[in-house]
């Protein structure tokens, strides 16, 4: 119960080891109002800001001495953390001074990425804190939610990216991927460290620990799973944490976290066996990468920003290289810009520390501005299909074939291992509503048509026939299950089961579900009508009593277990969130392209927790098939690990550039990538994908390891005088750049313009937002006055150009760095509709390590508020191709303001 300070709550918090401060009570026991969790940041900069690049100070924040790479990660409990650190004591002292004699509960002290704390207080107490000169910002906590046997082949990893990394046995070696999710099942073979005979040392730069609890015993971690923690203080204070199903440990009681971790970094060649059938062998994108888990989301309630920020802060302190967040906020952040929220700002500091941050775009598509990941320093991933599909079908007695989904077994698995019912036999269809026993009516059980209880039915009528059941919204909510309906069918000796879709279930992504009898789910309401019309028209009734005398409809079920690989793919899924990127709560558009790109997210086989309950249909299985942008994001996290392994000095912006500029624009048949546009009949309602659907395109795993040119996150500033780098200034420049933008390596003797470091780019961008100065100071502790100039989003050196409002004309510059050999590039482009563009130079030779500036001139030729799209292509004579998507929304050809 939020706002109640019961002894039970205090004991529970203490027992979980998440109490970072003290519980202080008023002497008279009075309560000043309803309490809530607030995230308080102080004006003093966090620890990471004092040390520049995290990797330059690997020993500053370690939890102990240097690690022996041959030792397993040590186990620890949350209660052993040093909550008496200096910064935590400063936070405690401030709370005691401001809230003298009052009761409050401090949940976390953040000190690495942000300097602040999460505290349970009343609004009046929060107001007191906000008035203190030491306090920069007080924000109300908010909720968040969770947003492969074949995808490695579809992405070309076995013959492309993995050989470049030395084969799958070394792909991702030495890279640590941190997962902010629902935890992990450490017993799953996807995370064992004995799958290879090669040595598997823990990276020396990682200093995380493995919590030990009853649910996560000593020995759960190994050289693969090298860190595991959980964060639930905000949830516990609200009284909604259920330890019996949420687990006060890193253990995954949901399934989602185990699934996403294995997509990115699961071991190679793990057999996928579900319901006794073998569906192939699974592998993560970077099967040799290490896994560190930071559990901040839970099955029963999702999660809260205070816990997520604590998880991000700890992951950065531990030394992860990549952060994967398959989570999104439940609401658009309020305030002057969407970028100013605790999660995005914590990730900004993580990026400053050299960590590549990946986030799911969200499953709120296909409407425009449905994006749930906002900031330019976060790599946002949408969901696309791949070419594998499991489709079965039901053939009706009138020769109509209806396609559906379901991993259905045969009546005789020995003779027909991939079939449904006997191929030569048509079976009678009987609706559950027409097979009720004498004691059951729709009036007594309005959901009886969902086939959840075999006691409601006449076994004599159902035996040997195909039972028709309804699939309603209750299945989506988990109140009814396919598994229980199948049990009903088996108890009644039905030959199979056919589910029709309730017309009120619109836009739900239905994954193929294991069925231990021949079965099919018809996902289309229109196709369901076809089935029911045939069934009803074939019924024979007594003219007097209207009783059914004969069930005349027949059908047989085909297929289900055997995959086919003939689908045109990829296509952007209807549920994948779309741009433009909303800059603020008024839905003004940002000059930033979102999503960054799309990756496989539909029908993804991956590991599943042994006690996972997120999908009832896969309970008790070791693998599950899931769909969503949650599945797309870890694909990119794993591929980012491969890039980081090949280019250790790459900055997060350089990794983002490599992924973006090499993305594919075409499907596997050479046609345009399509985007689904509607919840209903999505394969009919589709059209060519735009940058606001797919960003730069569909990820090209092999191409990303050889991008040729990169757009590092440095703004090209105009200067009156170019700077020639002599040997001395060259060395100084390299020292300076390495601390701020790893991977930015210009060649000595080249002409370059004055540049600002990557973190400063983002700060200049944030400071350029109207009215943002106090907010920037609140979140970062840095004053916008310290920046000589500010920039707009369009000036960030991103591998895309998005102009929300083009007034007459505009010149945009982009700077590229050659990380390959000397090469000559020619430039081509297609202009957005209603706009003319010119690019200079149209041809250039660029030496290895050299930087080159491209100028792009936009001129509006019509007034329009409709978005239009184009593209710039850089074509190298050594085979490199660099794609730069263009998006222009509002176009104005003349100044409409007049003087009065």
Contact 630, 772 (CB under 8 A): no
Task: Show the tokens assigned to 398.
Answer: 């009138």
Residues across the chain: 900
Quote the tokens at residue 534.
């045939």
* Nearest partner of 447 among 471, 478, 482, 483, judged by Cα: 471
Q: Assign 230 to helix, strand or coil.
A: strand
Q: Which of 422, 389, 404 is nearest to 530 (CA)?
A: 404
Instruction: State which H helix or E strand residue 771 sits in.
Output: none
Rounded Cα distance, 697 and 885, in Å: 9
DSSP 690-732: -HHHHTT-B--TTGGG--SEE--S--B---SS-EE--HHHHHH
β-pair type (290-295, 176-181) = parallel
CB 207 within 8 A of CB 64: yes
Cβ(854)–Cβ(812) below 8 Å: no
Which one of the listed residues 91, 111, 150, 181 is annotated catalytic? 181
Q: Is 472 a catalytic residue?
A: no
Are the C-beta atoms of 66 and 58 separated by less than 8 Å? Answer: no
Per the annotation, the verdict on 71 as an active-site residue is no
Residue 28, C-beta contacts closer than 8 angstroms, at least 6 positions apart: none
Q: Please give the structure tokens belonging to residue 260.
A: 């996403």
How far is Cα 851 from Cα 873, in angstroms, rounded to an integer? 17
User: What are the helix and strand counts (H, E) for the chain?
Assistant: 21, 47
| Cβ atoms 690, 578 nearer than 8 A | no
Nearest to 880 by CA among 744, 705, 639, 656: 705
Give burial (CB, 10 Å; 0-12/13-18/19+) of 455: exposed
Return the structure tokens found at 774: 């106090």
Any long-range contacts for 787-794 (C-beta under 8 Å, 24+ apart)?
A: 787/760, 787/763, 789/717, 789/764, 790/764, 790/765, 791/715, 791/761, 791/764, 791/765, 792/591, 792/765, 792/768, 793/376, 793/590, 793/591, 793/592, 793/765, 794/591
Characterize 566-579 residue by residue with b for buried, 16 or more Cβ atoms within 10 angstroms of its Cβ, and e for exposed. Answer: ebebbbbbbbbbbb
CA pair distance 684, 692, nearest whole angstrom: 20
630 labelled catalytic: yes
Q: Give CA separation, 816 vs 643, 719, 842, 849, in Å.
A: 18, 18, 14, 10
Helix (H) / strand (E) element for 619: namely none
Q: Residue with structure tokens 């007097």?
A: 544
In what helix (H) or strand (E) does residue 328 lie, and over which residues does it extend?
strand 327-329
CB burial of residue 413 (10 Å; 0-12, 13-18, 19+): middle
Say if residues 189 and 270 touch (Cβ distance below 8 Å): yes
- CA proximity to 274, closest of 483, 492, 476: 483
Phi, psi of 250, rounded to the nearest 5 degrees: -70, -5
Q: How far is CA 167 from CA 157, 255, 588, in A?
A: 9, 29, 46
Beta strands (DSSP E) in 757-880 are 801-807, 809-818, 823-830, 835-840, 843-846, 851-860, 868-876
Beta-bridge mates of residue 382: 598
Q: Which entry of 480, 528, 630, 651 is annotated as an active-site residue?
A: 630
Cis peptide before 435 (omega within 30 of 0): no
DSSP 8-state assignment for residue 99: T
Q: Which of 91, 230, 256, 635 is catalytic?
A: 256
Residue 276: closest CA among 134, 93, 407, 184: 407
Indicate which residues carry an active-site annotation: 181, 256, 630
């Amino acid at each position: 119960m939020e706002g109640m300070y019961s002894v039970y709550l205090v004991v529970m918090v203490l027992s979980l080891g998440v109490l970072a401060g003290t519980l202080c009570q008023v002497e008279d026991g009075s309560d000043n109002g309803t309490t809530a969790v607030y995230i308080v940041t102080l004006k003093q900069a966090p620890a990471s800001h004092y040390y520049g690049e995290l990797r330059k100070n690997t020993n500053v924040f370690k939890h102990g001495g240097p690690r022996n790479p041959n030792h397993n990660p040590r186990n620890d409990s949350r209660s052993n953390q040093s909550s008496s650190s200096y910064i935590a004591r400063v936070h405690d002292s401030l709370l005691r001074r401001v809230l003298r004699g009052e009761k409050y509960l401090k949940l976390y002290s953040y000190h690495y990425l942000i300097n602040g704390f999460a505290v349970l207080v009343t609004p009046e107490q929060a107001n007191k804190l906000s008035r203190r000169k030491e306090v920069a910002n007080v924000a109300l906590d908010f909720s968040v939610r969770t947003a492969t046997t074949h995808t490695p082949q579809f992405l070309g990893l076995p013959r492309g990216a993995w050989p470049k990394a030395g084969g799958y046995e070394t792909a991702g070696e030495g890279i640590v991927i941190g997962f902010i999710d629902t935890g992990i099942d450490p017993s799953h073979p996807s995370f064992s460290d004995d799958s290879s005979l090669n040595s598997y040392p823990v990276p020396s730069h990682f200093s995380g620990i493995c919590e030990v609890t009853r649910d996560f015993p000593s020995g759960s971690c190994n050289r693969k799973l090298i860190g595991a923690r959980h964060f639930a203080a905000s949830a516990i204070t609200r009284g909604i944490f259920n330890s019996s199903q949420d687990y006060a440990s890193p253990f995954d009681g949901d399934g989602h976290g185990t699934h996403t971790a294995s997509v990115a970094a699961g071991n190679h060649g793990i057999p996928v066996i579900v319901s006794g059938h073998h569906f192939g062998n699974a592998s993560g994108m970077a099967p040799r990468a290490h896994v560190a888990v930071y559990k901040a989301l839970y099955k029963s309630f999702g999660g809260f920003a205070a816990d997520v920020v604590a998880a991000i802060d700890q992951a950065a302190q531990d030394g992860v290289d990549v952060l994967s967040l398959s989570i999104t906020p439940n609401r658009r952040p309020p305030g002057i810009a969407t970028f100013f929220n605790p999660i995005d700002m914590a990730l900004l500091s993580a990026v400053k520390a050299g960590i590549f941050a990946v986030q799911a775009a969200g499953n709120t598509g296909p409407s425009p501005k449905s994006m749930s990941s906002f900031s330019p320093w976060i790599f946002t991933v949408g969901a696309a299909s791949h070419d594998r599909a499991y489709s079965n079908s039901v053939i009706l007695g009138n020769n109509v074939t209806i396609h559906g989904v379901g991993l259905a077994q045969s009546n005789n698995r020995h003779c027909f291992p991939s079939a449904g019912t006997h191929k030569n036999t048509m079976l009678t269809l009987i609706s559950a509503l027409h097979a009720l026993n004498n004691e059951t009516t729709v009036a007594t059980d309005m959901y009886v048509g969902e086939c959840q209880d075999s006691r409601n039915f006449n076994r004599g009528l159902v035996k040997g026939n195909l039972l028709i059941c309804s699939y309603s919204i209750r299945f989506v909510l988990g109140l009814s299950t396919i598994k229980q309906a199948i049990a009903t069918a088996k108890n009644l000796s039905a030959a199979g089961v056919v589910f029709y879709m309730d017309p009120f279930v619109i836009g739900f992504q239905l994954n193929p579900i294991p069925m231990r009898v021949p079965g099919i789910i018809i996902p289309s309401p229109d196709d369901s009508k076809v089935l029911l019309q045939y069934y009803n028209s074939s019924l024979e009734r007594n003219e007097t009593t209207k009783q059914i005398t004969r069930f005349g409809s027949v059908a047989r079920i085909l297929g289900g277990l055997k995959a086919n690989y003939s689908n045109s793919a990829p296509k952007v899924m209807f549920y994948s969130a779309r741009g433009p990127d909303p800059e603020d709560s008024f839905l003004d558009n940002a000059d930033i392209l979102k999503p960054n790109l799309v990756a496989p997210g539909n029908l993804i086989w991956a590991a599943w927790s042994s006690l996972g309950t997120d999908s009832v249909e896969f309970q008790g299985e070791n693998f599950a098939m899931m769909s969503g942008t949650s599945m797309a994001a870890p694909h990119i996290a794993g591929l980012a690990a491969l890039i980081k392994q090949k280019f250790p000095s790459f900055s997060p912006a350089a990794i983002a550039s490599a992924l973006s500029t090499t993305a594919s624009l075409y499907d596997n048949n050479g046609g345009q990538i399509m985007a689904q546009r509607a919840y209903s009949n999505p394969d009919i309602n589709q059209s060519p994908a735009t940058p606001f659907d797919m960003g730069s395109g569909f990820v090209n795993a092999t191409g990303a390891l050889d991008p040729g040119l990169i757009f590092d996150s440095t703004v090209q500033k105009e200067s009156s005088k170019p700077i020639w780098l002599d040997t001395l200034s060259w060395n100084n420049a390299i020292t300076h750049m390495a601390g701020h933008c790893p991977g930015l390596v210009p060649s000595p003797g080249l002409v370059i313009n004055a540049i600002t470091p990557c973190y400063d780019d983002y700060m200049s961008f944030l400071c350029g937002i109207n009215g943002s100065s106090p907010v920037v100071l609140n979140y970062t502790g840095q004053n916008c006055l310290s920046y000589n100039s500010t920039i707009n989003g369009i000036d960030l050196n991103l591998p895309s150009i998005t102009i929300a409002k083009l007034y007459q004309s505009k010149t945009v510059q982009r700077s590229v760095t050659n990380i390959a050999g000397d090469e000559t590039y020619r430039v081509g482009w297609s202009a957005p509709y209603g706009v003319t563009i010119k690019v200079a130079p149209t041809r250039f030779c660029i030496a290895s390590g050299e930087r080159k500036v491209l100028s792009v001139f936009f001129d509006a030729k019509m007034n329009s508020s409709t978005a239009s799209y184009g593209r710039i292509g850089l074509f190298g004579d050594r085979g490199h191709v660099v794609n730069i998507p263009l998006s222009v929304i509002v176009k104005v050809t003349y100044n409409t303001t007049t003087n009065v």
